[in-house]
Structure 1
C-alpha cells in the first residue's frame, strides 16, 4: 500500500460568496488558517456573526440595542477593531471581512475580551452596503489599509472609487464620517481626489488628517514608520442635506 500524505484539513467557510459580477477589491484564495481560528469560527460564528441577506438589516435587533453604528470594511486580523470597540463601548461596530483567518481571529478577540458591541458579516462589502445597510443609518465608516493594488493595470480593483463612495455616503447619516488610512502614497492621493469630489462630503482638514487617538498603531504600521514609510489618514464627514443640495446646485 502506498504511504500517501494526508490531505490538508478543510478550511471552514463562514460565508459562501455570491455570484455578483462587479469588480471585486479582493481575490479569493486558500489562505492559511490556524486551528484556533477554525475553532473560533466553529464555536463563536453563530453568536457574533450575521449572515448576508438581500434585505435591510435591523441594526438595533442585530446588536440588541440602539446605538451609533460604525461600519468597518476589511478588518484584517481584528486587532484595531477590538481596540477601538473596547475604547468606545457606547458605539456598535459592524465588521465586514471576506477571509476566514481574519474572521476567526476577530471571533477569538471578541470572546477573550468579552466584547458585546461587535458583529461580523463575512461577505463582499459592496453587496453588504447595497443590500443590507439602510440609507442614512451609519454613524461612521472605517476603511483601514485596504489592498492598494499597486500595479497600474490593477488600479480598477481598488475599493475607493467614485461609485463605491457614492454608495457608502448614501448610507451615512448627516454628520457621519468616513475615515480611511493607507501606507501607499499614490492610493492616498486617489482617496483624497475621490472623497473630495463627492459633493455630499466635507474634508475635516485641508488635505490629510492627523491620526486620531481612537485609531491605534498596529505592529505592522509601527514597523513601517520606523523604516520611514508614510501613513496617510483621511477623515471626511457627510454634509447636512441642505448643504449638499446647495453645493450640487451651485456646481
Structure 2
C-alpha cells in the first residue's frame, strides 16, 4: 500500500491539533533516558494534552529508545490507559521501525495509520523522513508523491515530519533532513504549504523559509540546549505543541510545558 493511501476525514470548521514527539520509551516502565523516566514523562504529557481537548493528536517519531517491540507496546498501553477522546496519528523517526508500529498498533481503535487527514479547510500530510542513517532523507519518488498530494488538493497542506529541514545551530544538525532545503523549495513553489512541523531537535524553534513557517516541537522526554555544538541536556520537563487552525489559516500555535518530574 502506498504511503498516502487511505484518508481520514474531520468535518469541523476549526480544529486543534496536539503534536507530541520523541518519547524514547523502553521496554521497562522504569527505563530512563539521561536520568528521565520517559514512560512517566509521556504519561504526564498525555494527561496534560487531554485537558486541552484537541480534535486529534499527531505523534512525531522516535517512540523507542531501546528498539524493542515491548517499547511500542508500552506506548499503546499508555495511550489506552488515558482513554483519550481523540484519535492519535503517527509518523516514524530515525529510531523507529515501521514493522514494529504495524505489529503493536494493529487493531487499536484510536491509534490510526492514516497519513493524509482531510479537514474542512486544510489537508494534513504526515511524511516518512526516515533513512538508513539517523539523518533524514526524502527520495525523489517520495518527493514527487508529496507534491502530487499537495497539488491535487483544493486546500492548502500542512506538513508534519520527524526531521528538521533547516539547521538549528546545534549538535543535532549532524542528523538533519539532508535534502531539507530541496523539499522546502519544491513545496514553496506550489504556493499551497503554509506550515511544516517537526520534532527531532528536542526543543522549540520557529523559522520561515520561502514563505513556509517551520515549527519545532520539544520532546516529551528530554530537551537539548540550544546553540551548542556538543550534546547538552536542558532540564525543562516534557513539552508539546498545540496548533489551532480554521478557514483563515493558522490562527494560533503555542508550546505547552508540562510540570517537571
Query: Which has the larger strand fraction?
Result: 2
- Structure 2 length normalisation: TM-score? 0.40
Query: Which has the larger helix fraction?
Result: 1
Structure with larger RCO (C-alpha < 8 A, sep 6+): 2
**Computing the radius of gyration over CA atoms, which structure comes out larger, 1 or 2?**
1
